[in-house]
Structure 1
Amino acid sequence: MWRNREIQWFIFILVLISTAATILSSILFSWPAAIMVLLVCFLLAGASLIFTRWRYHELEKLSGYLRRISSGDYGLDIRDNHEGELSILKSDIYKVTLMLSEHRSNLERDKHALTNAISDISHQLKTPLTSMMVMSDLLSDNTLDESKREEFTQNIRVQLERIEWLVSSLLKLSKIDAGTVVFKKDEVFVNELLQRALHPLLIPMDIKEQTVVLEGNEEVSFTGDFHWTAEALINILKNCVEHTPDGGTIRINCHENPLYTEISIKDNGKGISKEDLPYIFRRFYKGKNAGEDSVGIGLAMAYSIITSQQGDIEVRSGKENGTEFLIKFYKKKR
Structure 2
Amino acid sequence: MMRNREIQVLLIILTSICLTSTVLAIFFFSLPVALYIFLTKTIFVIVFFYFTKWRYREIEKLSNYLRKITNGDYNLDIRDNVEGELSILKNDIYKVTLMLSEQSSYLQQDKVRLTNAISDISHQLKTPLTSMMVMADLLSHPNLDVAKRKEFTHNIQAQLERIEWLVTSLLKLAKIDADIVQFKKDSVPANVLVQKALQSVLIPMDIKQVSLKVSGDDDVSFLVDLNWTSEALINILKNCIEHTGEGGSISISFVENTLYTELKIQDSGKGILKEDLPYIFKRFYKGKNAGEESVGIGLALSYSIIKSQQGDIEVKSEIGVGTTFLIKFYKQII
TM over 0.5: yes
Structure 1 CA distance for aligned equivalents of residues 166 and 129 of structure 2: 13
Structure 2 CA distance for aligned equivalents of residues 324 and 312 of structure 1: 14
Q: 1:318 to 1:11 in 2, by over 3 A?
A: farther
1:3 aligned partner: 3
More displaced stretch, 30-39 vs 271-280: 271-280
Instruction: Provide Cα deviations, 1:220-239, integer angstroms capped at 9, x if missing partner.
Output: 10222111110111011111
- In structure 2, the residue corresponding to 1:200 is in which secondary structure? coil
Structure 2 letter corresponding to 1:151:
E
2:154 aligned with 1:158: no
2:51 aligned with 1:51: yes
- Flag structure 2 segments of 5+ consecutive residues without an equivalent: none
1:253 aligned partner: 253
1:35 aligned partner: 35
Q: Map 1:105-184 onto structure 2 (within 5 A).
A: 105-184=105-184
Instruction: Provide Cα deviations, 1:248-286, integer angstroms capped at 9, x if missing partner.
Output: 222222111122111111223333333333322222122
More displaced stretch, 22-31 vs 10-19: 22-31
Structure 1 CA distance for aligned equivalents of residues 322 and 46 of structure 2: 84
Structure 1 CA distance for aligned equivalents of residues 41 and 290 of structure 2: 86
Aligned-pair CA distance for 1:321: 4.4
- In structure 1, the residue corresponding to 2:11 is in which secondary structure? helix
Structure 2 CA distance for aligned equivalents of residues 3 and 144 of structure 1: 88
Structure 2 CA distance for aligned equivalents of residues 272 and 86 of structure 1: 61
Structure 2 CA distance for aligned equivalents of residues 68 and 121 of structure 1: 38
1:223 aligned partner: 223
Structure 2 letter corresponding to 1:47:
V
Structure 1 letter corresponding to 2:213:
V
> Percent identity, aligned pairs only?
65
Aligned residues: CA RMSD: 1.7
Alignment size in residue pairs = 334
Aligned-pair CA distance for 1:302: 1.0
1:188 aligned partner: 188
1:197 aligned partner: 197
2:266 aligned with 1:266: yes
1:293 aligned partner: 293
Q: 1:318 to 1:45 in 2, by over 3 A?
A: farther
Q: 1:37 to 1:272 in 2, by over 3 A?
A: farther
- In structure 2, the residue corresponding to 1:275 is in which secondary structure? coil
Q: Map 1:314-333 onto structure 2 (within 5 A).
A: 314-333=314-333
- In structure 2, the residue corresponding to 1:212 is in which secondary structure? strand
Instruction: Provide Cα deviations, 1:298-320, integer angstroms capped at 9, x if missing partner.
Output: 11111121122222222233444
Instruction: Provide Cα deviations, 1:172-224, integer angstroms capped at 9, x if missing partner.
Output: 22222233322222211111111111121112112222222212212210222
Structure 2 CA distance for aligned equivalents of residues 323 and 76 of structure 1: 52
- In structure 1, the residue corresponding to 2:215 is in which secondary structure? strand
Q: Map 1:91-106 onto structure 2 (within 5 A).
A: 91-106=91-106
- Flag structure 1 segments of 5+ consecutive residues without an equivalent: none
Structure 2 CA distance for aligned equivalents of residues 73 and 186 of structure 1: 48
Structure 1 CA distance for aligned equivalents of residues 81 and 287 of structure 2: 52
Normalising by structure 2, report the TM-score.
0.94
Aligned-pair CA distance for 1:161: 1.0
Structure 2 letter corresponding to 1:12:
I
Structure 1 CA distance for aligned equivalents of residues 60 and 320 of structure 2: 68
Structure 1 CA distance for aligned equivalents of residues 24 and 51 of structure 2: 28
Structure 1 CA distance for aligned equivalents of residues 317 and 42 of structure 2: 84
- In structure 2, the residue corresponding to 1:222 is in which secondary structure? strand
